[in-house]
Amino acid sequence: MKLPCTTIFKLLIVALLISSVSCNSKSKAKQTLASKDLAQAQTGSFGDQGDGTYINPILNADYPDSDIEQVGDTYYMITSKQHMSPGMPILESKDMVNWTNIGHVFDSLSWAPEYNWDRMNGYSFGTWAGDLAYHEGMWYCYQIDYQHGLMVSKAKDIKGPWSKPIFMLPKAKVLDDPAVFWDKETHKAYVIVNTAGKQKSPNNKIEGNENRIYEMSWDGTKILDEGKLVYTGMGAEAAKIYKIDDTWYIFLAQWTMGDKSTKPGVKNPKNDRKQIVLRSKESIYGPYEVKTVLEKGKAFNNRSASQGALMQAPDKSWWYMHQLIQNDTIPFQGRPQCLEPVNWVDGWPIIGIDEDNDGIGEPVKQYKKPIDGYPITAPSSDDDFSLPKLGFQWEWNHNPRNTHWSLTERSGWLRLKASKILPNEKSYGPNINEWTNNDGSDSDFWRACNTLSQRIMGITTGIATAKFDISGMQPHQLAGFVRYGGVFNLLGVEVDENGKKHLFYIDSMAQKMQGPEITGSDLYVRTSNNSNRATYEYSYDGENYTRFGPIFTIAFGKWTGDRLGFFSWNKKEDAGYIDVDWFTYDYDGPKAAK
């Protein structure tokens, strides 16, 4: 039967109205993200200022242990992130100031069972400081897992796929922080490693870590000798090797102890971590002269500055990217990255500005950008979960249980299914050791798989908001929003044995505050911070918010800064799920135009 045109038109109008009604809540829910698509690039208290200058830290988030390799006109950075999965984030930049995340070296921490969702006792280990290198058309990433030894992964493309790790030296011989160098003149390849005291002879009376150079095969995958000791120093690690104008340079981070009542790395403003340089015109093995080239200065009060990578701009100027170290009470969240000019004085690379005329550089707060002409950008943050893969800003707490999360079961939503909490027994969850002390480490949160999160940005202000659908939750399930790093604070929903849902807040010592019963499906959670003080709010309509729980402190701890994300677990069985519609994050720093 052929319908008249007017009838067809009316049917089309009805169809469009139905479509509009069914999509209205979804469109409203994502209106914040949509409005951001029209936004201009923003600036803030750090990074690119839009006027040809930048403010340090240029990457003001927990991106520690950086190493940078330049290929063509692009700079590529890796940073460590311990037990988070995927591991070893990769970022890229055209101007050394604006960085975006483009992937990870390790799709999962596949080399050891403690990083899996059914164990979760690899806290603080996993990926540590690495070295990124490009050699004869191949990318290499070297790193040492403190528990397992020196490894390398390779890739033809920086974005992957990367090979499974190839192990080169056992943990009995090495501690951390490898760096490699291919000498094309002699056709020899080398790796320098902090071996600490693991191979230390009684004849070596110098206090501190030993650093050894090993010869490698030209393909960068095998160790060819027993190594040679080149330097020993207090906390000396994080080496990088460069050969410039026929001179060998080894950059090292090293502690200077102003107060021996505390260990290196323990918060104490009297203890300083500096950048030193070893210099030799004779051989990669030395003998070496030694000079301090960077120390803490006025820009960051007592925040120590060290450990990073040397770069060169197209105009032949030299620059240095480095991290700040948390060794006092300033509430930085993690170890952010700073960019410094490098001035060569009598053949030494002096980093930053020598503000006190002692021949040692100090960090700058604001400076002229090394390269002009590129737009303001930043690592991703906001997400509407409309893509078939997670954005690179997201990382799991240990390797996820992949059967228990999905971006496709409900299109445009992230679904987190609840797994039964792991037992509070040995070999599950955090160990009580120097990395995780008795500060809530036996709480359920640390043994709940499939917690997904991203870093906070900056240390001034920030507001993160997410919309949840809680209709799929089941008895004994807990799910919602988490802020965590060294400590955790949760705001979410718990379902009792009778199926009733209640709002709750849990602090870092697992003390629970129960809130009102929730009968609807939608829950919006908003969290704000002013410096290191934070709060939670909730809403049923996304417009009217009510605060719940105390003002709490977000804290750097276990070498990790605060993170924003989602959790879902069940105390009794594998049952229930929570859906996340969208996530937005506004902070006082650079964001790209959309």
At 27 the pLDDT is: 45
| Total number of residues shown for the chain | 594
Q: What DSSP string describes 178-242?
A: EEEEEETTTTEEEEEEEEETTT--TT--S-SEEEEEEEE-TTSS-B-S--EEEEEETT-EEEEEE
At 593 the pLDDT is: 83
pTM score, whole prediction: 0.93
CA nearest to 368, candidates 54, 46, 42:
54
* Regions in the chain scoring below 70 on pLDDT: 1-39, 326-331, 432-440
- Please name each of the domains of the chain with its CATH number: 67-295 (2.115.10.20), 395-587 (2.60.120.200)
Contact yes or no for 527/548 (Cβ under 8 A): no
Percentage of the chain beyond pLDDT 90 is 81
Contact yes or no for 348/68 (Cβ under 8 A): no
Cα 142 from chain centre: 17
At 29 the pLDDT is: 43
Question: Which position has the token pair 């490693």?
Answer: 193
Peptide bond into 113 cis (omega under 30): no
Measured CA distances, 137 to 71, 133, 140, 157 (Å):
10, 10, 10, 9
At 303 the pLDDT is: 84
Coil, strand or helix at 444: helix
At 584 the pLDDT is: 98
Measured CA to CA, the distance from residue 501 to residue 518 in angstroms comes to 5
At 557 the pLDDT is: 77
At 330 the pLDDT is: 61
At 219 the pLDDT is: 98
Instruction: Give, for 22, the enclosing helix (H) or strand (E).
Output: helix 5-29
Cα torsion 114, 115, 119, 120: sign: positive
At 327 the pLDDT is: 60
Q: What is the pLDDT of residues 425-444, one digit of tens each?
A: 989 998 755 444 456 678 89
Alpha-carbon torsion, ordered 55, 56, 59, 60, to 10 deg = -100
At 334 the pLDDT is: 86
Measured CA to CA, the distance from residue 457 to residue 211 in angstroms comes to 34
At 487 the pLDDT is: 87
